[in-house]
């Protein structure tokens, strides 16, 4: 496998351009095994969240990989996210950061994100700034911050977020969001880079044609499309062969024309399954409890 490239965050930290996501991998054993498979396959960035309730399984896999000598802690880039429930005030946010670190059994987290721009996310951010300055978090960022929210946030806070993790794939290209992130030197990270089990990109004729041309799979082509436009990708799979397949995207390049063809699949916000502008969704997130 060729080397996974990195991108430099505005605080100087190098972040891998590809990582492994564990959303909806609820079974602890399965999560631990998948993360270990991913680290063995060459991934160094692991993306979890307090709300996925598998931070402990991720931590176990990470500690096992280190003790088996597969990699060092310094080579890994562990990401987690603060859930909305803990964003009510600064004290709850402080406790949430400590809880994530403790659950993973790590001394620090490489990147911690506000999962949503909900509740009192400015107070929660101040807790993240504190933890960053104390060295508990090596980088801090946000997730699901749409351009107007990200702009207002960057114009207000002391430490600008280093990353914004949002939905980004060929069916939701979000060029305007990428522009805003570039303006504030915020690195874009794609959730659902393979479409998140929706859109069925694997049966798209144009994508299949491009894949055949490069002797790659459709999955590899759409992951490559994102990293080639500077977006970090974190595909999820619980299948070892797919975990290996998804990381083999570092030995080919798409032409400018192919990049444009793939971008033409964009359906905009209308096509998305997760509706952040829908009050019902915001209420649901506000009410979701992940702990007592």
Ligand X SMILES: NC(=O)c1ccc[n+]([C@@H]2O[C@H](COP(=O)([O-])OP(=O)(O)OC[C@H]3O[C@@H](n4cnc5c(N)ncnc54)[C@H](OP(=O)(O)O)[C@@H]3O)[C@@H](O)[C@H]2O)c1
The residue among 158 and 289 lying less far from ligand X, judged by its C-beta, is 289
Q: Which residue in the block uniquely carries the two structure tokens 């829908």?
A: 278
In the list 9, 15, 18, 21, the residue contacting ligand X (rule: CB under 6 A) is 21
Residue 14 contacts residue 8 (beta carbons within 8 Å):
yes
Among candidate residues 52, 112, 132, 171, the one labeled active-site is 52
Residue 144 binds ligand X (CB under 6 A)? yes
Q: Is 166 helix (H, G, I), strand (E, B) or coil?
A: strand
Residue 128 contacts residue 82 (beta carbons within 8 Å):
yes
The residues facing 46 across adjacent strands are 20, 78
Residue 124 contacts residue 145 (beta carbons within 8 Å):
no
Q: Which residue is nearest to ligand X (CB)?
A: 21
Here the tokens at position 141 are 């960022």
Confirm whether 171 is a catalytic residue. no
- Rounded to whole angstroms, the Cα distance separating 4 from 237 reads 18
Residue 162 binds ligand X (CB under 6 A)? no
Residue 237 binds ligand X (CB under 6 A)? yes
Span from 20-28, 68-76, 177-185, 261-269 in contact with ligand X (CB under 6 A): 20-28
In the list 193, 199, 226, 276, the residue contacting ligand X (rule: CB under 6 A) is 193
Residue 145 binds ligand X (CB under 6 A)? no
The residues facing 78 across adjacent strands are 46
Binding site for ligand X (CB under 6 A): 21-23, 47, 143-144, 165, 191-197, 202, 219, 234-239, 242, 245-246
């Amino acid at each position: 496998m060729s080397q996974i490239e990195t991108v430099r965050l505005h605080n100087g930290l190098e972040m891998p351009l590809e990582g492994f996501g564990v959303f909806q991998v609820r079974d602890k054993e399965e999560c631990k095994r998948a993360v270990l498979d991913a680290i063995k396959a060459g991934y160094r960035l692991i993306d979890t969240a307090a709300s996925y309730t598998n931070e402990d399984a991720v931590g176990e896999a990470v500690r096992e990989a280190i003790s088996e000598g597969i990699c060092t802690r310094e080579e890994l880039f562990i990401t987690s996210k603060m859930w909305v429930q803990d964003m009510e005030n600064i004290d709850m946010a402080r406790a949430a950061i400590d809880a994530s670190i403790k659950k993973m059994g790590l001394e620090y987290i490489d990147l911690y994100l506000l999962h949503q721009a909900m509740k009192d996310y400015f107070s929660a951010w101040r807790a993240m700034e504190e933890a960053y300055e104390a060295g508990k978090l090596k980088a801090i960022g946000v997730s699901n911050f749409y351009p107007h929210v990200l702009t207002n946030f960057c114009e207000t806070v002391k430490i600008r977020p280093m990353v914004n993790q949002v939905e980004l794939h060929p069916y939701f290209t979000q060029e305007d969001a990428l522009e805003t992130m570039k303006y504030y030197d915020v690195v874009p990270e794609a959730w659902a880079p393979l479409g998140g089990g929706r859109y069925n990109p694997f049966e798209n004729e144009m994508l299949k044609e491009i894949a055949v041309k490069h002797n790659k799979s459709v999955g590899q082509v759409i992951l490559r499309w994102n990293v080639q436009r500077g977006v970090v990708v974190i595909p999820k799979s619980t299948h070892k062969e797919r975990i290996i397949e998804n990381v083999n995207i570092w030995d080919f390049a798409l032409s400018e024309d192919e990049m444009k063809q793939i971008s033409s699949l964009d359906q905009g916000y209308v096509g998305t399954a997760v509706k952040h502008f829908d009050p019902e969704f915001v209420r649901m997130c506000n009410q979701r409890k992940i702990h007592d």
